[in-house]
């Protein structure tokens, strides 16, 4: 299917680099024309956008594992999209896909980095969570690198976040004693009652070191770091 269009794309671009927590002034809403597709291209319309902690790092022009978003560039992010039109042999109109097309309603792609989701996928947004980058990070970090064994103690920072919550549940499935670290009593309660952690400690507690020691009587075998700092 070919497409000639005068439709507009709404996108959020980085207007300035934040100092501390980002504010609305660091971003700008733009409306730009969607170009006609060329051979080998497809038009994607975003359905679900993942908002992740790594995005704050990409707003800063500092050394990192990935390049920063340029000033005036579309903010990066994983998106589950529907193929609106296609001149690409591997994709057809209506396909659901996942790609890092960023904070915008539409994106034109040559197919690079676009992953097709299974037909009839009941929960497409899961491709941004448990079946996406957070799930891969949790599984590879814990199983491939941490290599926990049954009966060992696994401690997880940011225990109720997208990655940490999965690390804890995978560790429990591996037969481990799992202790979470989170900020606040409500998060710690959710880690234990909803996610199945054996214990969870509020890192803001004055006696945090003592609580951590008490929760890990046999020491710590695997520590999954999600935060940095003390």
- Per run of 10 residues, the mean pLDDT along the chain (length 230 residues) is 65 97 97 96 97 93 92 98 97 97 97 94 94 96 98 97 97 98 97 98 96 97 89
CA distances from 219 to 134, 152, 156, 199 (A): 27, 9, 14, 14
- Return the pLDDT at 18: 97
Helix, strand, coil percent values for the chain (each to nearest 5): 25, 25, 50
- Return the pLDDT at 6: 54
- Return the pLDDT at 4: 45
Query: CA–CA separation, 114 vs 116, rounded Å?
Result: 7
Give the residue from 171, 129, 147, 53 showing the smallest Cα distance to 200.
Answer: 171
- Return the pLDDT at 3: 45
**Is residue 199 within a helix (H) or strand (E), and if so which, with residue range?**
strand 199-202
Q: What is the pTM of this model?
A: 0.84
Query: CA–CA separation, 14 vs 59, rounded Å?
Result: 7
Domains in the chain (CATH in brackets) are 8-127 (3.90.180.10), 133-224 (3.40.50.720)
């Amino acid at each position: 299917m070919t497409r000639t269009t005068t439709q507009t794309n709404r996108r959020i671009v980085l207007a300035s680099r934040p100092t501390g927590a980002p504010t609305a002034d660091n971003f700008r809403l733009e409306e730009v024309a969607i170009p006609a597709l060329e051979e080998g291209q497809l038009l994607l319309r975003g359905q679900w956008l993942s908002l992740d902690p790594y995005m704050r790092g990409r707003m800063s022009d500092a050394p990192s594992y990935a390049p920063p978003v340029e000033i005036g560039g579309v903010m990066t992010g994983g998106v589950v999209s529907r193929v609106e039109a296609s001149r690409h042999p591997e994709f057809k109109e209506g396909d659901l896909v996942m790609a890092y097309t960023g904070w915008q309603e539409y994106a034109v792609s040559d197919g690079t980095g676009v992953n097709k989701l299974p037909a009839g996928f009941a929960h497409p947004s899961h491709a941004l969570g448990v079946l996406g980058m957070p799930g891969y990070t949790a599984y590879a970090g814990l199983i491939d690198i941490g290599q926990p064994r049954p009966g060992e103690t696994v401690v997880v920072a940011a225990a109720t976040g997208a990655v940490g919550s999965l690390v804890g549940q995978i560790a429990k499935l591996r037969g481990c004693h799992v202790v979470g670290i989170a900020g606040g009593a409500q998060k710690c309660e959710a880690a234990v009652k909803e996610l199945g952690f054996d214990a969870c400690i509020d890192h803001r507690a004055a006696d945090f070191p003592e609580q951590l020691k008490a929760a890990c009587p046999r020491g710590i075998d695997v520590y999954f770091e999600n935060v940095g700092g003390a």
